[in-house]
Structure 1
């Protein structure tokens, strides 16, 4: 099994600036031999493995859920996995690839080198494949459990679309790029943490392949952001600072409506549901998730000189994302 390496741990020479390195020999769409089919010994695997890491599903330890037994816990974990995969499919197609298009088609008000554009096209290809294998696995798991209540538009996608729709046209391309930057620098850390657990073999294989690609994507977006930040004027920087903060918050919100429906579908009583949602949706819980999960994003901002501006430093300190 290949060791998982955080993007920040890879040697600088591993990927040339504004490229995806030896993409032809590494991208999962080019090299993966996994079929991502559910294993024939699925029931046996579920005795020791999980559909989704328990550390991400702390609500499963609520006494009312534990009292319902392991079968219900497996179903709730499967519900969460299907939701995550459906969300991933939409994120890759509707958000990340739209963000990448701003680089590919010269929508940003900055020079895009041939190397930067080629890497963007490669990244676009990767994301299409990620959407494909996420959807394929989601359909399989949903079929096992008869999961039919799958939201057409997860909360996070709805919120990001609203944020982008309310952006003035003159800043729209920049906003799309910034949301993609936040997404790609967050997802690499998220996948790394998910892959630390022992999951059903096909789920583990898919998420590891996804992580291998996203480690590259995170570095690429961080480099392009650094380059782009240096080209922005003061008004654009002020706009970017606020949009970055707003989008980072959105990525750590809880989809309250979906989770409530998921819990109710498995017979969790209303008192327990209210307690679980109260804990997950509190301002402090959301902030804790944001601080724990946005390290790569904040590091990229720091390296770009973003926090050298007092306004940005104060903005993020006030929001609780960084310390003074």
Structure 2
């Protein structure tokens, strides 16, 4: 089964896989062999203490305390929760806003880890991507695969606990918006480039800095089980961040110049595919709470002002942009123009 975005790793008969794409495009558009790849950087594993420290190895199951009367999520990290029209909703409805945000976060995590990240990690572990990597880096992919699978398990476990405790049914789209956007971006590319776009999407998603992972664990207003679950996730993701920053160097230096030129301008859109808010779903949710159509549009316009959205994306992607710059992505004029157009470069806000 090829999955939602059409990437299945490990099938030896598949012709439209990253390995096939790398081989087929090595000389594309050049008329001669691709330039030799740069000498790979030395790989320093961030997983030296994985067997002792990974959440799947040592963290207990996080269980909701039935007597704890706290929020399901940090109000400061739920954008619409700060708007006066939402804060004016009855207390039980306002708590639903926070709970639905937790559900979205947990569903987002489950599907990102299972359906996208672990497909790439499986390809790394089984050497089917066509990217030459150190043996230690290949072995570390097995550890990431375990981590991400466990993140999906504890996210779904917590969602089920919250649903049982609160009686609030999750309002979740069948497909998270980041997957819809990724698929649309892939469809704009030649078929042989689509798997490579997903690899780069994984690099972006794993190197972005999430305020949720950074701030929820320290918010005493939130249920301890939620805080501890997100803390477990954050500790693992710190190692994944370092890993994929290294993986980018190996991947990018082994792509041919024509392939780099095709993919470099796509990278800012891959960043925003992950970060841009799902406005249709938020609109539908606001209407379900009893806000009028006009009030719902007012909340969306004031909370998700385009400049604010771009400022948030720029801050969240700061380290990702640094890594992309280090491998030469922004040396490509078309890529730099697209980053500036989308307001992702410091000092270049959108009009």
The whole-number CA distance in structure 2 between the counterparts of 1:318 and 1:60 is 30
Q: Contact 1:195/1:207 (CA < 8 Å) preserved in 2? A: yes
Change (3 A) 1:19 1:292: closer
- Which secondary structure state, in structure 2, belongs to the residue aligned with residue 120 of structure 1? helix
Partners of 2:172 and 2:85 lie apart in 1 by 24
With the length of structure 2 as denominator, give the TM-score of the two structures: 0.79
Q: Distance in 2 between matches of 1:252 and 1:80?
A: 15
Q: Secondary structure of the equivalent of 2:344?
A: coil
Q: Tell me how far 1:29 sits from its aligned partner.
A: 0.4
User: In structure 2, how many angstroms separate the alpha carbons of the residues matched to 1:197 and 1:294?
Assistant: 23
Matched, 1:260 2:283: yes
Task: Tell me if 1:127 matches 2:127.
Answer: no
How far the C-alpha of 1:243 sits from its partner, in A, is: 2.5
Q: Does 1:74 find its partner at 2:95? A: yes
Contact 1:18 1:116 in 2 (8 A): yes
Question: In terms of Rg, which structure is larger?
Answer: 2
Which of 335, 346, 351 is 1:312 aligned to? 335
Q: TM-score, normalised by structure 1?
A: 0.86
- Matched residue SS, 2:208: helix
> Runs of 5+ in structure 2 lacking a partner?
1-41
In the other structure, the counterpart of 1:36 is 62
Asked whether the equivalents of residues 98 and 176 of structure 1 are also in contact (C-alpha less than 8 Å), the reply is no
Residue 85 (structure 2) pairs with residue 58 (structure 1): no
Retained in 1: the 8 A contact 2:266–2:335? no
Structure-2 change in CA distance of 1:186 and 1:305 (3 Å): same
The question of whether the paired residues in 2 share the 8 Å contact of 1:102 and 1:177 is answered with: no
Aligned residue in 1 for 2:191: 169
Tell which deviates more after alignment, 91-100 or 237-246.
Answer: 237-246
Looking at structure 2, the residues matched to 273 and 167 of structure 1 have their Cα atoms a distance apart, in angstroms, of 36
User: CA–CA distance in 1 between the matches of 2:301 and 2:290?
Assistant: 18
Question: Per-residue deviation at 1:154?
Answer: 2.0
Instruction: Find the counterpart in structure 1 of residue 299 from structure 2.
Output: 276
**Which residue in the other structure is 2:202 paired with?**
180
| Bigger fraction of residues in helix | 1
Paired residues of 2:43 and 2:137 also in contact (CA < 8 A): no
Mapped to 2, the partners of 1:323 and 1:130 lie a distance apart of 33
Classify 1:310/1:243 alpha carbon distance in 2 versus 1 (closer, same or farther; 3 Å). Answer: closer
Instruction: Give the total of aligned pairs.
Output: 304
Partner of 1:104: 125
Whether the 8 Å contact between 2:79 and 2:303 is mirrored in structure 1 is no
What whole-Å deviation, never above 9, does each CA across 1:186-232 have from its counterpart, x for those lacking one? Answer: 25554114434332100000000000000000110001101222222
| CA–CA separation in structure 1 for the residues paired with 2:286 and 2:338 | 36
Whether the 8 Å CA contact 2:77–2:212 is kept in 1: the answer is no
Are 1:18 and 1:115, in contact at CA under 8 Å, matched by a contact in 2? yes
Name 2:180's counterpart in structure 1. 158
1:227 aligns with 2:255: no
Q: Tell me what 1:5 maps to.
A: none
User: Structure 2 residue aligned with 1:86, among 107, 113, 123?
Assistant: 107
Distance in 2 (alpha carbons) for counterparts of 1:171 and 1:106: 18
